A = this chain, B = another copy of it.
Amino acid sequence: MPTIRDVAKRAGVGIATVSRVLNGSSQVRESTRQRVLDAIADLNYSPNQAARRLSSGKTFTIGVVSPFFTFPSFVERLTGIQDVLDESEYDLVLYSIRSTEQLQRRLRILIGENRVDGLIVLSLPFSERDLRTLKPDFPIVTVDNSPAWHYPSVVIDDVAGGALATRYLIEHGHRALGFVGDRTDSVFRFTSTERRLEGFRNALTEAGLEFRETWCWQGEHSQEAARQAAWRILQQPNRPSAIFAAMDTLAFGVLQAVREMGMRVPEDVAVIGFDDIAAAGYVNLTTVSQHLVESGRIAAQRMLDWLRSGEIERTPVQLPLKIVERATV
């Protein structure tokens, strides 16, 4: 492999000059620049990344830290991130996390060892103080995390989203509403379901409707659990005419149950989900879109802006929510 020295020799210049044209420094006479460029082309030279990293102190790498791909939503966010980093000079390195302790350890290592120039953290709460004492200004952007952080973030208003979905059902004439959601995640303490439920209750109260425990369920995060729950809820003589599922994946379980019970969607039971993952389109699920891909895009863009300008814009970006009308309400 040719090195910068070979290029310099061939172009009849010093290595610093080569470095300058490599890094786009304008302080180079055009003719010299051209000679260097030719030499680079002749030798089919390309700079050694490791060397650049060592001497510049930058890694040209952005890390994405995400819970192990348990939920489809992470994948969609990742797609958005990939999307914008792909156009940039930064590599995208993936780190998956299985526990909060592992998360904190990972973050400390990644930051402490300078293994990445910036970190995008998906849906994972972490100890901010700890990290800030380690390295106060390390670039971190969070997505779908508690918005109280001092780091830039991309968030949604889950309470408003829950209310939005609920009002949509009410507007479609439903007065008996059920709810299906998972419990606060035991490992990572995701709490969006709780907040969506809060929005659900708010909208109910607002419309003078009753919140019935027997129409609601919270449990394990799985389609199967949701299916069984829907069975129990819908078997009651006095059953809800519509169900709000706090996540699309749970809505799929509900849909399954409704069909198994020989009822029609949406005539007998309406179902609305939340997230708008790709699969929601496959099954024609009406749902609340939280612009997952876009959330990834914005996070990556904020990271790039920070890295390139050196300036932090801390204001959280709150993504709008919207109902995607399909066939289940």
Query: Which of A50, A109, A283 gathers the greatest number of chain B CB atoms within 10 Å?
Result: A50
Nearest chain-B residue to A69 (Cβ)?
Answer: B79
> Which residues 83-111 of A have a CB within 8 angstroms of B?
83, 86, 91-96, 109
A214 lies within 8 A of chain B by Cβ:
no
Binds B, one of A112-120, A121-129, A160-168, A188-196: A112-120
When distances are taken between beta carbons in the complex, the residues of chain B under 8 Å from A115 are: 49, 91
In this complex, how many residues of chain A approach chain B with their Cβ under 8 Å: the count is 42
Known: A252-B282, A282-B252. A46 touches B92 (CB 8 A): no
A249 lies within 8 A of chain B by Cβ:
yes
Q: Tell whether, in the assembled complex, residue A96 and residue B86 are in contact, meaning their CB atoms are under 8 Å apart.
A: yes
When distances are taken between beta carbons in the complex, the residues of chain B under 8 Å from A72 are: 278
Binds B, one of A17-25, A51-59, A169-177, A315-323: A51-59
* Identical copies in the complex: 2
Nearest chain-B residue to A49 (Cβ)?
Answer: B115
> Which residues 200-255 of A have a CB within 8 angstroms of B?
223, 249, 252
A15 lies within 8 A of chain B by Cβ:
no
Partner of A82, one of B79, B94, B112: B94
When distances are taken between beta carbons in the complex, the residues of chain B under 8 Å from A249 are: 282
When distances are taken between beta carbons in the complex, the residues of chain B under 8 Å from A86 are: 68, 95-96
CA A96 – CA B96 in complex, angstroms? Answer: 19
Partner of A46, one of B95, B113, B283: B113
CA A93 – CA B60 in complex, angstroms? Answer: 12
A256 lies within 8 A of chain B by Cβ:
yes
CA A109 – CA B91 in complex, angstroms? Answer: 13
Q: Tell whether, in the assembled complex, residue B96 and residue A93 are in contact, meaning their CB atoms are under 8 Å apart.
A: no
CA A57 – CA B223 in complex, angstroms? Answer: 47
A75 lies within 8 A of chain B by Cβ:
yes
When distances are taken between beta carbons in the complex, the residues of chain B under 8 Å from A59 are: 49-50
Q: Tell whether, in the assembled complex, residue B256 and residue A223 are in contact, meaning their CB atoms are under 8 Å apart.
A: no
Partner of A283, one of B48, B49, B282: B282
CA A95 – CA B82 in complex, angstroms? Answer: 8
When distances are taken between beta carbons in the complex, the residues of chain B under 8 Å from A96 are: 82, 86
Q: A49-B115, A92-B94, A252-B283 are in contact. List 11 more A-B contacts (CB 8 A).
A: A46-B112, A50-B54, A50-B59, A50-B114, A53-B54, A91-B93, A91-B115, A94-B94, A223-B281, A256-B284, A282-B282
Q: List 11 A-B contacts (CB under 8 A).
A: A44-B112, A49-B53, A50-B53, A50-B54, A50-B59, A53-B53, A75-B75, A82-B96, A91-B115, A92-B93, A278-B279
Q: Which 6 A-B pairs have the closest CB atoms?
A: A50-B53, A279-B279, A252-B282, A50-B54, A46-B113, A92-B94
